[in-house]
Amino acid sequence: MIASRQEGDRSSGQFNIRVNQLRKVLRTSHGTEPLVAIDRLTFSVMAGEIACIVGRTGCGKSTFLNILAGLDHPTEGEITIGENTPYNAFDLFKGAVAVIFQQDRLLPWRTARENVELGLEILGISPGQRRETAEEWLTRLELSGFLNAYPGELSGGMRQRVAMARAFALDPQLLLVDEAFGHLDEVTARQLRVDFLKHASRRGTTVVMVTHQLEEAIETAEKIFVFGKPARLLAEIDTPAALSRMSKEELRTFIQETIDSNQPRQL
């Protein structure tokens, strides 16, 4: 299911993401050999696009997303969002970038509503407005009955919804998602995915989403980037164009073979 763009689209050129010759070498505690996590990665995501990244486990997807979020620096090369790099111009992206992590990462001492308010508190938004926004998002994500529940009282799927609400409440221009639905059962994951896309496309948010479920990528993304191990670009797929030529199943097979071969391929 490809999201169709509506009004409120903010996909201006300002938020185009360019990844240029990115390298990340990690020093590990166990081995003496430094580990190459990302190796000369180059690609672009246009503002307002929904992009999926797929690749083998441990291929450097989370590492890449961390750099894109500005939480880590690359060893070589660079990422620019518009004119700026997210890790150097860190504070410039305050409120503009939100992350939904691999685990929900809710703070256990805050209720669902307070967790959603966290980002708004940091932006200095008034308590009344914070509360309103948080309740609005939690209601939209069908958690209106759990505003004052602590994370310990919620199921995994509900917690992930709260984490989603926390990101959406910021109304970011760029939303980074790391396997947010991976550990949930298929029915819950599908429903969450549908909700997620509905809200992301409504606001014209640029989305970069990591997943290892190929079906999820094919159903979700306008662009799919296939990463090798260590992370470099093996294939870039324009999903609507590809699906006009082949079936979902054929596309899935192509992606799977590309990942298995670990070699760059053309569709």
Partner 1 sequence: MGSFLAPPTMGESPVWPRGLSLGLRRETFFSLLLFACAWQIASYFAPPYVIPGWQAIGKSLLHLHMEWIAVTAVRVLFSLLLSFGLGALLAMLMYSSRAFERYLLPLLKMLMAVPVLCWILFAVLWFRGVEFRIAFVLVIICGPIFVIDLLDGMKGVLREWREMLRSLRPSKFQFFQKLILPAILPAVLTSWKVNLSLAVRVVTIAELVGATSGIGYGLVVAQGLFSIADIFAWTLVLVVILLVAQQIITLLEDRLLHWRESA
Residue numbers at the binding site for partner 1 (CB under 8 A): 66, 69-71, 90-91, 93-95, 97-99, 101, 103, 105, 107-110, 118-119, 121-122, 149-153, 170
8 Å CB contact between 115 and 146 = no
The 42-71 site mask, x for binding Mg ion (CB under 5 A), equals: --------------------x---------
Residue 68 phi, psi dihedral angles, 5° rounding: -60, -35
Based on CB atoms, which residue is closest to partner 1, 60 or 70? 70
Q: Does 35 bind ligand ATP (CB under 6 A)?
A: yes
Report the largest interatomic distance among the alpha carbons of the chain, rounded to a whole angstrom: 54
24 binds, among ligand ATP, Mg ion, partner 1, none (CB under 5 to 8 A by kind): none
Based on CB atoms, which residue is closest to ligand ATP, 43 or 150? 43
Binding residue (CB under 6 A) for ligand ATP from 22, 47, 61, 111: 61
CB of 1 to partner 1, least distance (A): 28
Beta-carbon contacts of 247 under 8 Å, excluding residues fewer than 6 positions away, are none
83 binds, among Mg ion, ligand ATP, partner 1, none (CB under 5 to 8 A by kind): none
Binding residue (CB under 6 A) for ligand ATP from 6, 28, 88, 144: 28
Based on CB atoms, which residue is closest to ligand ATP, 63 or 239? 63
Q: Does 75 bind Mg ion (CB under 5 A)?
A: no
Q: Does 212 bind ligand ATP (CB under 6 A)?
A: yes
8 Å CB contact between 198 and 232 = no
Within 13 Å and on the Cβ side, how many CA atoms surround 249? 0
Residues touching ligand ATP, count (CB under 6 A): 12
Please state the length of the chain: 267
Dihedral in degrees, nearest 10, Cα atoms 167, 173, 178, 184: 50
CB of 247 to partner 1, least distance (A): 38
Based on CB atoms, which residue is closest to partner 1, 110 or 202? 110
Please state, in angstroms and as integers, the Cα–Cα distance from residue 166 to each residue in 171, 172, 234, 253, 267, following that order. 10, 11, 33, 35, 37
Q: How far apart are CA 240 and CA 89, in angstroms?
A: 34
Residues touching Mg ion, count (CB under 5 A): 1
Q: Does 191 bind Mg ion (CB under 5 A)?
A: no
CB of 212 to ligand ATP, least distance (A): 6
Write out the H or E segment, with its range, that includes residue 195.
helix 186-202
Q: Which of 124, 112, 122, 91 is nearest to 166 (CA)?
A: 112
Please state, in angstroms and as integers, the Cα–Cα distance from residue 2 to each residue in 10, 218, 222, following that order. 18, 9, 7
The contact set with ligand ATP (CB under 6 A) reads 26, 28, 35, 37, 57-63, 212
